[in-house]
Amino acid sequence: MARKLRMGMVGGGRGAFIGGVHRIAAAIDQEIELVCGAFSSDPEKSRLSGEDFYLPPNRVYGSYEDMILKEKELPEGERMDFISIVTPNHVHFGPAKLALQHGFHVVCDKPLAFNVDEAEQLVRLVEETGLVFALTHNYTGYPMVKQAKAMVRDGKLGKIRKIVVEYPQGWLADKKEDTDNKQASWRSDPAKSGMGGAMGDIGTHAENLAEYVTGLKITEVCADLTSYVEGRRLDDDANILLHFEEGAKGVLHCSQIAVGEENGLNIRVWGETGGLEWHQEEPNTLIYKRHEQPAIIYRTGVGELDPAAVAATRIPPAGHPEGYLEAFANIYKNFAATVRAKMDGREPTAIESDFPTVRDGLRGMRFVEVVVENSRRSEKWSRV
């Protein structure tokens, strides 16, 4: 297929943070072009946003329903190929469901939906239609995260014993939702964010990263969630003990009241013969630790790395940082390659299909639900 994939966007208009991230990431590899959008629930704001992106007025819509239905009526050579959903959590399910029902592939910002029931409906729709669905757990896109996954898979650590994953932030240490901070406002509102605060916002990133790197599913949790800021309706701090498949155990900590922290996502994994350590704020470095031997430093773009890590690396020579936007772009790149494979009538390769899917999204929703419920109970452990 000798053309770019055509993207329609839901949300992400003027003043939005994550919409700009998605547009930049989708454009990095020149595989995708933005052709239309419903950029706001306010039709006038959507129109003005379309002007910002130099889109023709007839491809800028006042609602996602209008966009999906009218794009479906266009000739196949003009209509969008997929939608990218970059709205607050409570507006993920509607456009995703309608797009799948009308034959459009989907990229959706995490979480997958507002609750588990909605998530399960989307899983069924994806499986019934055979369409491609990517969820932007973007931290899995880093080259050194893919290298870590490959090393665990190839037995470099031996049998996994312990996983510690953390995501501390400090931006909600005071009650920003009472100001004009739009990001704080919807994230702290149960009607828009869902049942989880910090747990649903960043805790699911930590959960997804732990399962992605180790290949092990979480089976049980023992959770303690807290709302430290007076009057806040959702948790802003979480501490969770984890049981994984095959006997591994772990700890997940996430917080948005960790004063002074920025985006400190990190993971440490220990097996019988070795360990790994990776920090999102130092993304080009992966530390491989061995028993009573010097640690080995792996660097993005240096030496012999796993093919998945190589495929996720763009910038030669080594030493130029590849960060958040590039990791996001790797989700879009692999999604686009998988869509192209389907259009060309072939099966995508393992590297092309290496991105979070609708089923990862369902696991994340179930994880948040179980964690929140467990934190309210007196019993110690709950099964995921």
135-187 pLDDT, tens digit per residue, is 999 999 999 999 999 999 999 999 999 999 999 999 999 999 999 898 999 89
**pLDDT surpassing 90 at residue 282:** yes
* 109 lies in the same domain as 218: no
Contact 273, 291 (CB under 8 A): yes
In a domain, 350, yes or no: no
Asked if residue 94 and residue 161 are part of one domain, the reply reads: no
Which has the minimum average pLDDT: 44-58, 119-133, 182-196, 260-274? Answer: 182-196
3-state SS, 298-325, equals EECCCCCCCHHHHHCCCCCCCCCCCCHH
CATH at 251:
3.30.360.10
Same domain, yes or no: 153 and 268 = yes
pLDDT confidence band for 379 (50 / 70 / 90): confident
The predicted structure's pLDDT at residue 238:
97
Note the pLDDT of residue 317: 76
Whether 358 is covered by a domain: the verdict is no
- Compute the average pLDDT of residues 269-287: 97
Whether 99 shows a pLDDT value over 70: the answer reads yes
The answer on pLDDT for 329 being more than 70 is yes
Residue 319's pLDDT band, with cuts at 50, 70 and 90, is confident
The total number of structural domains that make up the chain:
2
pLDDT for position 98 = 98
CATH number of the domain to which 71 belongs: 3.40.50.720
| 182 three-class SS | helix
Q: What is the mean pLDDT of residues 16-21?
A: 92
| Domain-ending residue, one of 89, 108, 131 | 131
Residue 162's H or E segment, with its range, is strand 160-168
Q: What are the distances in angstroms from CA 92 to CA 33, 49, 194, 281?
A: 21, 20, 12, 28
Contact of 16 with 186, CB cutoff 8 Å = no
Same-domain check for residues 87 and 207: no
Compute φ and ψ for 140, nearest 5 degrees: -70, -10
Q: How far apart are CA 253 and CA 226, in angstroms?
A: 12
Residue 140 CB neighbours (<10 A): 25
Contact 200, 193 (CB under 8 A): yes
Indicate whether 72 and 158 sit together in one domain: no
Give the position of tokens 């130099």.
Answer: 54
- The pLDDT, as a whole number, for residue 316 is 80
Judge whether 346 lies within some domain. no
Is the domain of 165 the same as that of 107?
A: no
pLDDT single digits (tens) 199-251: 999 999 999 999 999 999 999 999 999 999 999 999 999 999 999 999 999 99
CB contact set of 154 (below 8 Å; sequence gap of 6+): none
pLDDT of residue 15: 85
- 95 domain-assigned: yes
Same domain (yes/no): 229, 150: yes
| Beta-sheet pairing, 274-279 with 285-290 | antiparallel
Question: Where is the domain boundary, 131, 151, 171?
Answer: 131
Flag whether 349 is in a domain. Answer: no
Give the DSSP letter of residue 9.
Answer: E
Per the listing, tokens 């000798």 go with 2
Full residue range of the structural domain in which residue 124 is found: 5-131
Alpha helices in 225-357 (DSSP H): 307-311, 324-343
Q: Is residue 344 part of a domain?
A: no
Q: In what order do the strands lie in the sheet with 105-108?
A: 32-38, 5-10, 82-85, 105-108, 133-135
Given a cut of 70, is residue 1 above it in pLDDT? no
What is the C-alpha separation between 332 and 31, in angstroms, rounded? 9
Whether 356 maps to a domain, the answer reads no
Last residue of a domain, one of 131, 157, 178: 131
Residues 145 and 82 in one domain: no
Higher pLDDT, 132 or 315: 132
Provide the percentage of residues in the chain whose pLDDT is more than 90: 93
* Contacting residues for 249 by C-beta, under 8 A, at least 6 apart: 161, 162, 163, 241, 242, 243
Instruction: Classify residue 383 by burial, with Cβ atoms within 10 Å: 0-12, 13-18, 19+.
Output: exposed
Give yes or no: residues 78 and 50 share one domain: yes
| 224 in the same domain as 287 | yes
Element (H, E) at 82: strand 82-85
Preceding omega of 317 cis (within 30 degrees of 0): yes
Domain for residue 357, yes or no?
no
HSE-up (13 A, CA, CB side) for residue 249: 3
Q: Specify whether 147 is located in the same domain as 22.
A: no
Q: What is the pLDDT of residues 41-72, one digit of tens each?
A: 999 999 999 999 999 999 999 999 999 999 99
What's the whole-number mean pLDDT along residues 100-105? 98
| Positive or negative: CA dihedral 91, 175, 209, 25 | positive
Burial class (CB in 10 A: 0-12, 13-18, 19+), 234: buried
Q: How many CB atoms lie within 10 A of CB 302?
A: 13
Same domain, 95 and 209: no
d(CA 127, CA 105) in angstroms, rounded, equals 12
Mean pLDDT of 352-359: 97
